[in-house]
Amino acid sequence: MAGSNLTTTEYIQHHLQNLTFGHHPDNGWSIAHSATEAADMGFWAIHLDTMGWSIGLGILFLWIFRKAAKTATTGVPSGLQNFVELMVEFVDNSVKETFHGKSRLIAPLSLTIFCWIFLMNLMDLVPVDFLPMLAQKIGVLVFNADPAHVYFKVVSTTDVNATLGMSLAVFALIIFYAIRTKGVSGFIGELTLHPFNAPSKIAMIFLIPVNLLLELVTLLAKPVSLALRLFGNLYAGELIFILIAAIGLWQLPLHFAWAVFHLLIITLQAFIFMMLTIVYLSMATEEH
Partner 1 sequence: MNLNLTLIGQAIAFAVFVWFCMKYVWPPVMQALQERQKKIADGLDAASRANRDLEMAQEQADETLRESKGQAAEILEQAHKRSNQMVEEARDNARQEGERMIANARTEIEQEINRAKEELRAQVARLAIEGAERILESSIDEKKHRELVDKLATEL
Question: Per CB under 8 A, does 236 bind partner 1?
Answer: no
Question: Per CB under 8 A, does 60 bind partner 1?
Answer: no
Active site residue 229: yes
Question: Per CB under 8 A, does 111 bind partner 1?
Answer: yes
Active site residue 93: no
Q: How many residues bind partner 1 (CB under 8 A)?
A: 54
Question: Per CB under 8 A, does 46 bind partner 1?
Answer: yes
Q: In the bound complex, what is the minimum distance in angstroms from residue 283's beta carbon to partner 1?
A: 19
Nearer to partner 1, 169 or 204 (CB): 169
Nearer to partner 1, 139 or 223 (CB): 223
Identified binder of partner 1 from the candidate list 11, 31, 37, 50, rule CB under 8 A: 50
Nearer to partner 1, 162 or 284 (CB): 162
Nearer to partner 1, 69 or 205 (CB): 69
Q: Which of 121, 211, 233, 282 is catalytic?
A: 233
Footprint (CB under 8 A) of partner 1, residues 67-106 = 68-70, 72-75, 77, 81, 84-85, 88-89, 92, 104-105
Question: Per CB under 8 A, does 62 bind partner 1?
Answer: yes
Q: In the bound complex, what is the minimum distance in angstroms from residue 214's beta carbon to partner 1?
A: 26
Q: DSSP of the chain, one letter per residue?
A: --STTS-HHHHHHHHT---EEEEETTTEEEE-SSHHHHHHTTTSEEEHHHHHHHHHHHHHHHHHHHHHHHT--SSS--HHHHHHHHHHHHHHHHHHHH--S--SSHHHHHHHHHHHHHHHHHGGGS-TTHHHHHHHHHHHHHS---GGG------GGGSHHHHHHHHHHHHHHHHHHHHHHHHHHHHHHHHHSSS---SSHHHHHHHHHHHHHHHHHHHHHHHHHHHHHHHHHHHHHHHHHHHHHHT-TTHHHHHHHHHHHHHHHHHHHHHHHHHHHHHHHHHHHS--
Active site residue 225: yes
Active-site amino acid positions: 225, 229, 233
